[in-house]
């Protein structure tokens, strides 16, 4: 619904969400439970993202921010990805985390910035840059992140490049990654 | 410094921050430690805000987001306040929290929305609205919040209204709060 | 309706307003009468705001500006309030006006800026800051203001804090204003 | 100076204005006098604009709004013009005013919307559209206008087209206005 | 449809366009053919604009950019005009082009900037400024331009001023252009 | 320099560019030559981008648009990349081009949209999405593109992921791409 209208008796865009009668808006429209519960990390990469964005909290619509809980098993990886329309700021609540991002092209470009984070550390991943998080430890890691969009979107590089539907032609990928098509086909087979 | 320029070989506003030579930028410019440590709650209200914004993390400049840790002793209160330029999203990491915000004027306006939050609950405080957080329990509470600005600013209502420097004339406040000047003078004396 | 589309054959957001057939748009959609008439100041505070925003002038939709006429009887007060999403600029057309705003928290924060305005003076109230206007004279005052939003919204501090629906708990307010609950209950009773 | 920084302890762009030490900011930085005084209408067109924008009121910097007083003698004209970056809302404080704007190109485009305004009437001129104001009466007219920019800029069509420095070639203008070069040269000679 | 939602699983404004089921979106929604074909220059001015904006390419909605092909016969003119909400950047693909824009009012204002462009030259026309393009040569000219809006809109000065529907009163135009009404009536008769 | 100030007598941010005295601004500050000349495609991938952005055209500063010429030899590839802050619209001026982009994660996400473009075709690559262009033909291809930023920045996926400085650890990439470290080391060795 148009919560801004509700807040400020102001009419603002509703971003396509169905509008709700202000008279029936309730506190729960601004709330969500369960960010204290580990997510399901039973996957190849050993990580899980529990979102708290406009899809879970309708009251976030038009407000330009959202939150996530991220769980990592030992050696769990949130693989290289970008958020096309958001910057992320993250703090480690439990465990340890090795994080990094790569700057864009250009003279002195594609620089990798990494840091080993311990409990209580905060790190920033600037909008649109490729970044990753890896748990190098022997215990689970939990992080709380925030993103500068009510619905930031994520592009996981490996999935988008080697696992798209349909697949990107191996002519293109072989040339892009300086390998032969067999290697590309084999890489694509992993997805 | 102009980190955006650095990220994208793109020149963007530096918001008045001193510019730093991209060649000497380091991961620490995007990082901060200590959000796992309780802040000093030894004050009348029994709460503390530990900020992680552009003043602590220069790399946040121009990125439109920041984070805070908030500590509350039992009966600790983050009193009614607004963030002039940011929405806040918050999750309870430890303890319990009674939260609320008030909508703006108008027919069906000045409505109070409240919720009792337990560990793992998330709540949203929309931009510019007066809101508060209170720990009604017998144990400490810890929350992690995020705000949609690299430097959101805070206006604590009671301090701005009754504790400004110089004081707002008691003519004005007596009329505004429908009380006599003595009461206003006495209220101001509390600050 | 989507006036921007109409103006520029351009499609822009309609902020939830019902769309009108461009062929039937007329000059009156961009117009309003009556800002020369005093508003009804027959209230406790002795002031009145006559709005000229998107709710009165549909053509303002998406255009980011609005106007108001404010009337003040002698000793009339527009009490401390904020506009969550707009800056205000005001000029005194008749009479005199004592105005002020308070800056936000921080070292050297919560500073009060005041000025006595006479006919023809202009004053600015920056976005999100608490501000007030008081007529200290023995004659009526009239001001014309403009706000940087087609529908700026207003939060009257005293009403939002002590007169919300439902009321904010006196535990919270007693602590916030450093007074006992009886005083809070009594203050709330004034609203 | 960076007033936003000052207001919110927040660092924002200063738009190239010299920065001033917050400790020496004063209420006068947000104020201006004289909008009650008629401007000098002793010119061919019989109108005058008295501005109250960031060039007169430094505190307006970054705040996105400004004000003007416009005086018109009988038959005085504010000739067709645009504000490249602002919408204008105007109210007639004294006298009468015939106003109009023209929509952009396209099927059903270049439509003229006009209205005769009397004291207390309000009218809106949408961003970027060509508009004019004419005093058809036998008495002076005074209007107060507001614009959605701290420094909106104005492009007077006749001056920019026929009075630019250097002049636009008469080849171009003759073709554009479907007249011969002599007519263009003569029109340019008027400026 | 809401393509942004589709791209990023993100919900953003649809600018009033009919929404389409993401499952049926196809590459053609982001594509257009024919920019290699000359447009119809059989008009008084000898130029033609072939647009590639959101009206031809629905996928451009919300993306803030569009393209045009412009054809000019020898002596063909794109007459003085503005784009109320967009900057234009243009390159000459074939032939030659004399271009110019005029700055806004003010001391040292209404300055004309011109340049003779040959094949491969690029030129910028800043948002809201009056600009024109003229082919002074003996061969056809083709330019490719881009604009910073998915639907920039155009206001052709001569048409809006002398050819509006209904006409602007000759009182107003005579005074604005420092000519007599007969001249205005005659100028209007050309449109 | 602050061209916007110059255009509109308006003071706007200069994005860190050195400011130039308006009196010495010239048409060349808004112009560039050479987009008709093929770029140097003598590289592994057989493509070249010739930019026309704020780094070449100072007058583009703050104007939010730029242009590029892209050359492709037969089988030339502009490999998968993103523009963190811009949408791209492109037209084929000569030859043929196979283009594609991949949507973001999510149910029905990571969809590949491709199209074979011929001379005169236009295609859109939405902000932040991974996209590529490949010349499948036996003749050179030339495209003119425009981007919705005065300095859009580019992140070439393969370079940022496998060719960063320093390299991303092979632990991370092996896991992300579901291959062993040897393969990653070998892939990195290609860059």
- Tens of pLDDT, residue by residue over C17-42, are 434 555 678 999 999 999 999 999 99
Q: What is the mean pLDDT of residues F44-68?
A: 94
Residue C9 predicted with pLDDT over 80 = no
SS3 E97: strand
From the CA of A136, how many Å to the nearest CA of chain E? 30
- Tens of pLDDT, residue by residue over F69-120, are 999 999 999 999 999 889 999 999 999 999 999 999 988 889 999 999 999 9
Confidence label for E83 from pLDDT (cuts 50, 70 and 90): very high
* pLDDT the model gives residue F8: 41
Of A8, A129, A148, the CB nearest to B65: A148
Domain ranges of chain B: 39-153, 155-191
How many helices, marked H, and strands, marked E, lie in chain D?
4, 11
Q: What is the mean pLDDT of residues B78-94?
A: 96
With touching defined as 3 or more inter-chain CB pairs under 8 Å, the answer for chains A and D is no
Interface test with chain E among A11, A54, A151, by most E beta carbons within 10 Å: A151
CA distance B103 to A26: 12
- Tens of pLDDT, residue by residue over E102-152, are 999 988 889 999 999 999 999 999 999 999 999 999 999 999 999 999 989
Residue E6 predicted with pLDDT over 70 = no
Cβ of F176 within 8 Å of Cβ of A100? The answer is: no
Query: What is the average pLDDT value for chain B, to the nearest integer?
Result: 89
Report chain E residues whose CB lies below 8 A from the CB of A1: none
Confidence label for D23 from pLDDT (cuts 50, 70 and 90): low
Compute mean pLDDT per 10 residues along chain A, 191 residues long, and list them: 38 40 81 97 97 93 93 98 94 98 90 97 95 98 97 94 96 94 93 87
Sheet architecture: strand order including E47-52: E47-52, E66-72, E141-147, E88-94, E122-125, F31-32
* pLDDT the model gives residue F21: 55
CA distance B189 to E76: 78
Q: What is the 3-state secondary structure (H, E, C) of chain A?
A: CCHHHHHHCCCCCCCCCCCCCHHHCCHHHHEECCCCCCCCCCCCCCEEEEEECCCCCHHHCCCCCEEEEEEECCCCEEEEEECCCCCEEEEEEECEEEEEEECCCCCCCCEEEEEEEECCCEEEECCCCEEEEECCCCCCEEEEEEECCCCCCCEEHHHHHHCCECCCCHHHHHHHCCCCHHHHHHHHHCC
DSSP F187: H
Structure-model confidence comparison of residues C8 and B133, the more confident one: B133
Interface membership of D6 toward F (CB under 8 Å): no
* pLDDT the model gives residue E24: 76
Q: What is the mean pLDDT of residues F37-54?
A: 96
* pLDDT the model gives residue E139: 98
Domain F39-153: give its CATH superfamily: Jelly Rolls (2.60.120.10)
Give the nearest chain F residue to B6 (CA atoms): F153
Sheet architecture: strand order including C96-102: C112-118, C96-102, C130-134, C77-82, C155-156
Interface membership of C115 toward D (CB under 8 Å): yes
Q: What is the mean pLDDT of residues C61-73?
A: 94
Q: What is the largest CA-CA distance in chain C?
A: 62
Q: What is the 3-state secondary structure (H, E, C) of C107-168?
A: CCCCEEEEEEEECCCEEEECCCCEEEEECCCCCCEEEEEEECCCCCCCEEHHHHHHCCECCC
Cβ–Cβ under 8 Å, residues F66 and F146:
yes
- Tens of pLDDT, residue by residue over D144-190, are 999 999 989 899 999 999 999 999 999 999 999 999 999 999 999 99
Q: What is the mean pLDDT of residues C76-89?
A: 95
- Tens of pLDDT, residue by residue over D102-156, are 999 988 889 999 999 999 999 999 999 999 999 999 999 999 999 999 989 899 9
Interface of A with B in 53-72 (CB under 8 A): 57, 59-60, 63-67, 69
Cβ–Cβ under 8 Å, residues A120 and B35:
yes
Sheet architecture: strand order including A130-134: A112-118, A96-102, A130-134, A77-82, A155-156
SS3 B147: strand
Helix extents (H) in F54-180: 157-162, 170-176
- Tens of pLDDT, residue by residue over E11-21, are 333 343 434 55
Interface test with chain C among A4, A5, A7, A10, by most C beta carbons within 10 Å: A10
Residue E170 predicted with pLDDT over 70 = yes
Confidence label for F4 from pLDDT (cuts 50, 70 and 90): very low
Cβ–Cβ under 8 Å, residues C17 and C6:
no
ipTM score:
0.89
**E88 membership: H or E segment, kind and range:** strand E88-94
DSSP F71: E
Residue F7 predicted with pLDDT over 90 = no
Q: Is E81 annotated as a binding residue?
A: yes
SS3 E24: helix
Helix extents (H) in E58-178: 157-162, 170-176
Report chain E residues whose CB lies below 8 A from the CB of D191: 178
Task: Give, in degrees to the nearest 5, the angle at Cα F5 between F1 and F8.
Answer: 140
Count other C-beta atoms under 10 Å from residue E55's C-beta.
Answer: 16
CA distance B179 to E188: 67
CA distance A3 to A150: 13
From the CA of A77, how many Å to the nearest CA of chain F? 7
Of D3, D65, D104, the CB nearest to C89: D65
Q: What is the mean pLDDT of residues C103-114?
A: 91
* pLDDT the model gives residue B61: 84
Residue listed under structure tokens 């590949």:
F112
* pLDDT the model gives residue C23: 66
- In percent, the amount of chain C with pLDDT more than 90 equals 77
With touching defined as 3 or more inter-chain CB pairs under 8 Å, the answer for chains C and E is yes
- Tens of pLDDT, residue by residue over B120-140, are 999 999 999 999 999 999 999
Residue C61 predicted with pLDDT over 90 = no
CA distance E161 to E153: 16
Q: What is the mean pLDDT of residues B158-180?
A: 95
* pLDDT the model gives residue E150: 92
């Amino acid at each position: 619904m148009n919560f801004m209208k509700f807040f400020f008796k102001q009419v603002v865009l509703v971003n396509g969400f169905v509008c709700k009668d202000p008279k029936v808006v309730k506190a729960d429209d601004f709330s969500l439970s369960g960010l204290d519960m580990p997510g399901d990390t039973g996957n190849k990469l050993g990580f899980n993202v529990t979102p708290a964005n406009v899809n879970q909290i309708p009251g976030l619509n038009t407000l330009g921010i959202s939150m996530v809980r991220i769980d990592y098993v030992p050696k769990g990886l949130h693989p290289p990805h970008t958020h096309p329309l958001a910057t992320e700021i993250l703090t480690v609540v439990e465990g340890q985390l090795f994080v990094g991002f790569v700057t864009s092209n250009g003279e002195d470009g594609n620089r990798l910035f990494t840091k080993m984070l311990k409990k209580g550390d905060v790190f920033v991943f600037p909008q649109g840059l490729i970044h990753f998080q890896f748990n190098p430890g022997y215990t689970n890691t939990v992080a709380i992140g925030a993103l500068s969009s009510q619905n930031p979107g994520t592009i996981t590089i490996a999935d988008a490049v080697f696992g798209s539907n349909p697949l990107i032609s191996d002519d293109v990928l072989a040339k892009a990654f300086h390998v032969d098509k067999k290697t590309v086909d084999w890489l694509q087979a992993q997805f």
